[in-house]
Structure 1
């Protein structure tokens, strides 16, 4: 367990460093401000067929979206950047270094996602009315957040292992943004065509948004969801399937990636990066 403990300590240190880095602070504050601004301007609109604020309905969906963005995009981005600057090669060179490295990344991504969640939750409670969490909601959070992370973090690591150039992040970002558009995050999915509804339900984003809505919204709002239910069993099942897929793929792809890391590969990536800067 020593490499894991060391990795968790490293992750905690990196989280603290994010509060002193202007770029990291911007990465915390700008998305939160943008999303909260969106919710604020939606506060007077209503969910179709109800008198409930569309902004209040959207905010919990954004919480679920934040888990996906943290687990997939942040994890993939961290791996790609660490490959380029040689951090991953140094981790590979020491005994149990990859175990320590990966546990540290889990702690870092989890901590950053939690900070982003709090930055959205606390101001959001003052922007919209109608959100509340009862005892069942707290119990749902206890399993939804861990299962959500397990369903997305390994996938993010697997995706990050496929790329060695930060510019390729667009290949990750664009499909995720497409899923956001069809997954009922900013507007009920029932307004989408049937085939888009089926496509959205194949991925974790829709289910994490639905799960978060079930935590913070009154039960009467389940009537505007598909099947007129919060569908906790289906949420757990789909997330569990993606967790298994990620946990199977990630170790294989990470081992292959680590096996290909070498000093010459890192030097070549640095040369490409310096060429881009020179231009």
Structure 2
């Protein structure tokens, strides 16, 4: 049997997956590009006017900037919470690790709608947070936690935390514990050990988790819509409004492509910077 025939046989099991990728991603992407090039919602005339319309519209640019900022803020919050959780996991015994694994994976095992409605109950005017604060006398009146930027960041942080915690845990478990012990033996305190030993060596896991969280939070249409409400307009809801509400399909297609390119561009840029930082550490 020739090498070419053997190669074809090895690639044969991947053909169904490749066909699914073409049907579910490539063809819709081509359709979006074609629709975005129409000048009017009636699909008359071909022109890149929809992209120029976006670039000339301060509101659209602000919506894109807010969406990117939301993804970055949620990624930063999950990073701050993920490291202590990962450190506790790495220092725990078998039974506690099993319990922590279940708690970390629990958000991924429940529906996004269920998790989002739970946060609506928690953050609502008569929700758990307001009721507790009022009963303790810490607040004079219910605070507006729901349909606010802070409430949205908080909900997305809890929902996306597993995407950050799991890569961090994996990086910490692969870390040689003798390195931290050696640093402590040389007189370094816990904070110095963390920032000079643990953090640099687990940075690839942190960046991988940050990329996952950023992409998931920026595109979380259900949570953004239900927790953010109509007061916070972000790209997923903006695209929905233009397509289903205004019926401006060319502009909605252009928004989708611009948003996709922005997310991919940011993820690629952060990934490239992380590789450069990792190479610098290895060179040092």
Q: TM-score, normalised by structure 2?
A: 0.30
Report the structure number with the largest CA radius of gyration: 2
